[in-house]
Amino acid sequence: MRQYGPDRDHRRPEGVSDETVEALGALSKALETTERARGHLYGFHQLTGTADLQLDRAVELLREAGHDEWADRVRTEILGRNVIPGHWTFQIVEAYDDTYYQPFRGLERDAVDRLAGGRDHLYEAEMKEDRRTVGHPDHTARPGVPPERPE
């Protein structure tokens, strides 16, 4: 293994073109955006669930304030309501995972495996190499490798 530069898992395999590295980088970036979208979907799921649980306190306080009719309306019209027809948020998350996220993740993994020998983040690893300052202690290629001596 070379002392400097990326480790073996982040070096381009023989025969992999610049275009392939760029294409896989774009595919991975799209998947990363999907990961963020999925995180927002989980945030939506958790926030909506928290709001629904907070309605219990609102119903209780409305009853204590003598507003039984309003407490009943909140309890029957909003608490436990579907967020879209037939769905609570957990069902939306499950459908997203099954219909979109898992197939996308699987395809991206398959593309990296078949086109780049399973080596992830080649585009980023090469960009890191292009942007490193040789000899700077905070620009080493990987953990545990001393900085190179500038030429």
Residue 139 lies in a domain: no
d(CA 120, CA 143): 17
Helix/strand/coil for 86: coil
Q: Give the residue from 84, 75, 76 showing the smallest Cα distance to 48.
A: 84
Give the three-state DSSP class for 4: coil
The whole-angstrom separation of Cα 33 and Cα 38 is 9
pLDDT in tens, 38-55: 999 999 999 999 999 999
pLDDT single digits (tens) 91-132: 999 999 999 999 999 999 999 999 999 999 999 999 998 998
Domain count, the chain: 1
User: CB–CB of 9/146 below 8 Å?
Assistant: no
Phi and psi at 87, nearest 5°, equal -130, 135
Per the structure, the complete domain to which residue 67 belongs is given by 36-131
Q: Is residue 113 part of a domain?
A: yes
| pTM higher than 0.75 | yes
Residue 16 lies in a domain: no
